[in-house]
Amino acid sequence: MSTLIHPTAVIHPNAELHPTVRVEPYAVIGAGVTIRANTTVGAHAVIEGLTEIGEDNQIFAGAAIGLEPQDLKYKGAKSWVRIGDRNRIREYVTINRATGENEATVIGNDNLLMAYAHVAHNCVIEDEVIIANNVAMAGHVYIESMAVISGVLGIHQFVHIGQMAMIGGMSRISRDVPPYMLVEGNPAKVRSLNLVGLKRRGVATTDLKLLKKAFRLLYSEGISLQKAIAQLEMLSDSEHVQHLSRFLQLSTSEGRRGLIPGKKVGNREQSIMDN
């Protein structure tokens, strides 16, 4: 046995571990698990099922990855968890595999999932996402890159969260969160543009000005959402503005959850509430 694998760890002979993988005491790794170079599996962690884990990940004590989905529809289908590189998966995080045949729960690269976060079946988390302690994600949630999800909150199934959005702690997220917005509350509402987060991510001053104009169109002009989207498309060919426009259009399409409303302006809700 490799000197990087503690003698009390239980590893199925059909698991595939790169020689540089470190496995700490009492961890359990099942058949069908693949772990690539320089990943650490913490004490008492459990990794089961068809689970692929990339390079340079840190999986902390007690995490449970690849176990059956908490979904009554699950009937033993061959399904996956796929995790990229350089993720930090903290204590007692749970990541369930997908429900349907050949479907996957997917975690990208460079994400931080803090203690006790739950990633349900068929969720997708892109890259550089921060998910704080005690966040509970229902099935089929999709989180775009560089979003920040604060602690002790729940996300409804099939909700989409846009890139560089920030969600305040203890919120209830039952609809889609547009990119670049700061959302908070119970019920949650769009409060402002996520200016601090955008600046930290190095968004250019010209793009910040355009996103401020986009925010005013959506939440302060009193026009319908469809008219606001039409004006967004004419506002600029900026990648950020166009991404926001596409996200809004998809969120209002059939089968989606719809959009988180805006905060109150005077005695009325912001214009996005009218749709």
pLDDT in tens, 32-80: 999 999 999 999 999 999 999 999 999 999 999 999 999 999 999 999 9
Provide the residue ranges of all domains of the chain, joining segments of one domain with +.
Answer: 10-140, 200-274
When pLDDT is cut at 50, 70 and 90, the band that residue 272 belongs to is low
pLDDT in tens, 167-218: 999 999 999 999 999 999 999 999 999 999 999 999 999 999 999 999 999 9
Contacts of 223 (CB under 8 A, 6+ apart): 217, 231, 271
pLDDT of residue 274: 43
Topology match between the domains 10-140 and 200-274: no
Average pLDDT along the chain: 94
The architecture in CATH of the region 10-140 reads 3 Solenoid (2.160)
What top-level class would CATH report for the domain 200-274?
Answer: mainly alpha
For residue 76, with 0-12 CB atoms within 10 Å meaning exposed, 13-18 middle and 19 or more buried, which class applies?
exposed
Rounded distance, CA 147 to CA 117, Å? 15
Q: With a threshold of 0.85, does the pTM exceed it? A: yes
pLDDT above 90 covers what percent of the chain? 91
